[in-house]
Structure 1
Amino acid sequence: MLVNQGKFREDLYYRLCVLQLRLPPLRERGEDILKIANHYIDQYAYTIAQKPPLLSSEAGKLFLKYSWDGNIRELRNICEQLVVLNETGIISDKEVSAILPIDTSKDIEEPLIFKTSISF
């Protein structure tokens, strides 16, 4: 701790340290990711006075698969982009994969490699 190392004032630490909460990273929140995403989608659609697009189940699977290193700010920004760019009223997996850097080829290549190695 920085207080023990003399790099942070102890009195200031105890003034600031009123409540300690552990907030798990977004990637550990499971289905909450979809609830939070839908909230931001609704919020941004309201902001630009448009009907909120629906997140397709395939797009939702990509949201759950992604690591969300930027945490909630990254999710919020992605949702805003999806709302602004959406033209159909349904956010597809293609729209999400165009914005999120998800390697979908890995899921396809691994089973093919496994199958071809068995056929020897």
Structure 2
Amino acid sequence: MDINERIKNICEVFCENSNGKFAVTMEASKQNVNNWSRSGYSVGLSVIVKIIEKFPGVSPEWLLTGVGEMERTDNGLTQAQTDYIEWLENNNRLLYKENKELRAENDKLREQLGMKKSAG
């Protein structure tokens, strides 16, 4: 499968097989889209870069080489971003647990002081 066929596949999957929708997304003419989809037509680097920018769900490796799957399995995130999200989620769990413990402690202290229980 050449790059022209891969562009055609992107149009099918992400733009409901509509060259018009693909053209709007790419900010290009329908004629350009037809050319890019035509086997043997030379697709420039600027077009490839724009496809990668406009369709972040597409694997750049697949677009350039045909290797792997068309759709990115990593949601377009770098390893550093994935690690940071994991760190944030872990800290969120720890803070939630600590907050829950502190609320329970506050409730006990209020009870000892004869104050009414906190809401929430």
Higher helix share: 2
Which has the larger Rg?
2
Give the structure-2-normalised TM-score. 0.29
Give the structure-1-normalised TM-score. 0.29
Answer 1 or 2: higher relative contact order, Cα 8 Å, separation at least 6: 1
